[in-house]
A and B are shown apart, each in its own frame.
Chain A
Amino acid sequence: TSANPYPWASGAEAWEPLSPELLGPARFALDAYNRGRAAGTRAGLGAVRGRVRRASRGSLYSLEATLEESACKDPMVCQLPVSKKTLFCIFEVLEELGKHTLLRRDCGPVDTKVTDLRNETFNSVLPLSSKDPLPEEFSMKMISIFKNFVATYNRTYESKKEAQWRLSVFTRNMVLAQRIQALDHGTAQYGVTKFSDLTEEEFRTIYLNPLLREEPGKKMHLAKAVRDP
């Protein structure tokens, strides 16, 4: 897949809360996740949001979902009421001629402590749902950070429309960076970088190397281990 060079012109890539259109791919992703799991241990869908990119032969759905699953794998052993485990998942589902294919499934447990902290951060600073109107204070703050970004990295945009689009991408990216921050176990800091006005697809297409995940490279022979001199 290649990035749409003028995404601000189509507006087709906005993240949306679960809509009837996203329901099918979300259910398919959930079924794929639950495949092989015994009844009673299957996960259920929590919050879902997603976006769709359409091509001539099909559509690519990118979904972010929370899944709730029972922390108890064996109901015969777990007598006490068991708590639920929350997972955060990223799915990519390709729909071609009515057939779904799961291209990506990245799921990880969301630590309750982390979730609470993250929600607190998001609720106080960043509204999560793209449908919620942005609080005025937040919008002003984002515009100010975006202006700084534009000046720092010497960005120029072709039109006001593109600048507006880039601001919305930048804002979404700031939310995403906070999420990545909350889910990082190390000491790394995530935030504004020179790539902050690019969509994930643009960034992947322009700067990364998709071949590495698609094909095996030429086989090389193994190096001999080094010895302590």
Chain B
Amino acid sequence: APLEWDWRKKGAVTEVKNQRMCGSCWAFSVTGNVEGQWFLNRGTLLSLSEQELLDCDKMDKACMGGFPSNAYLAIKSLGGLETEDDYSYQGHMKACNFSAKKAKVYINDSVELSKNEQKLAAWLAVKGPISVAINAFGMQFYRHGIAHPLRPLCSPWFIDHAMLVVGYGNRSNVPFWAIKNSWGTDWGEEGYYYLHRGSGACGVNIMASSAVVD
């Protein structure tokens, strides 16, 4: 893996979004990943619809939570994702209003990624932003800097929040993952969370995945 990488600088990442009072992080994590995959494979960055997943992905539970792995299957079986403009975010579940005619992107498959953080970094640099899920310990009060909570306080077995890794690097010799969150830009570092890299901090390496666009 290169020493550092940032997909934001390469135009593969849309603006930070806001899930509002709804546990829909899983949908934002997945649309962020598909946005990156579509950009890398088709050259166009589109902001995609989380509301479509909230309303139409019946394997998941909208604001009550969900799994990226289920969401990829839903996108595949629905026939794609509409854009944010066509199917805008409401922050609560409604009747499914997906129209295949309006779908702007599709995916062919989804894959689980390695739990080795060095291999994850290498994958990210070549293939694009990665959907991850972590233990959100301390994030309620996170302001900035590289978080590295004590392992017993941030156990990898209590995963409860999905996000999108968009890059990595080092700040004053402290290795970090740059992670796009979905709590708006008035949280963290302009909406981003920086987490220690290389120690399996908060289980960041446990549930890494990506869509595949051919």
Contacts and interface: CB of A to CB of B under 8 A. Distances in A.
- Interface residue tally on B, bucketed by range: 35 or more
B126 A226 contact: yes
Contacts of A211: 26, 60-61, 64-67
Interface string A185-229: 111111111111010100111111111110101111111011001
A177 B146 contact: no
Given A187-B146, A195-B187, A222-B114, 17 more contacts: A88-B153, A104-B158, A107-B152, A177-B141, A180-B138, A180-B149, A186-B148, A188-B147, A194-B183, A194-B187, A207-B23, A207-B183, A208-B23, A209-B133, A211-B61, A223-B123, A225-B123
B162 interface: yes
Interface stretch (B32-40, B41-49, B69-77, B96-104): B69-77
B146 A186 contact: yes
A109 B150 CA distance: 9
A146 to B, nearest CB: 15
A194 to B, nearest CB: 6
B160 A184 contact: no
Interface of A: 88, 90, 104, 106-109, 153, 173, 176-177, 180, 183-196, 198, 200, 203-213, 215, 217-223, 225-226, 229
Contacts of B66: 209, 211
Main secondary structure of the interface of B (DSSP, over half): mixed
Interface of B: 19, 21-23, 25-26, 59-61, 64-70, 72-73, 110-114, 119, 122-123, 125-127, 133, 136-138, 140-153, 155, 157-162, 171-172, 174, 183-184, 186-187, 194, 196, 207, 209-210
Nearest to A208: B160
B149 A184 contact: yes
Contacts of B133: 209, 212
A184 B138 contact: yes
Contacts of A218: 59, 67, 69-70, 73
23 contacts: A104-B158, A109-B150, A183-B150, A184-B147, A184-B148, A188-B142, A188-B147, A189-B143, A192-B143, A193-B141, A193-B187, A194-B187, A195-B187, A207-B25, A208-B65, A209-B160, A209-B161, A211-B65, A220-B110, A222-B111, A223-B114, A223-B210, A226-B127
A196 B141 contact: yes
Contacts of B161: 207-209, 212
Contacts of A104: 158
A205 B111 CA distance: 29
Nearest to A152: B186
Contacts of B67: 211-212, 215, 217-218
A110 to B, nearest CB: 9
B171 A225 contact: no
Contacts of B136: 208
B160 A106 contact: no
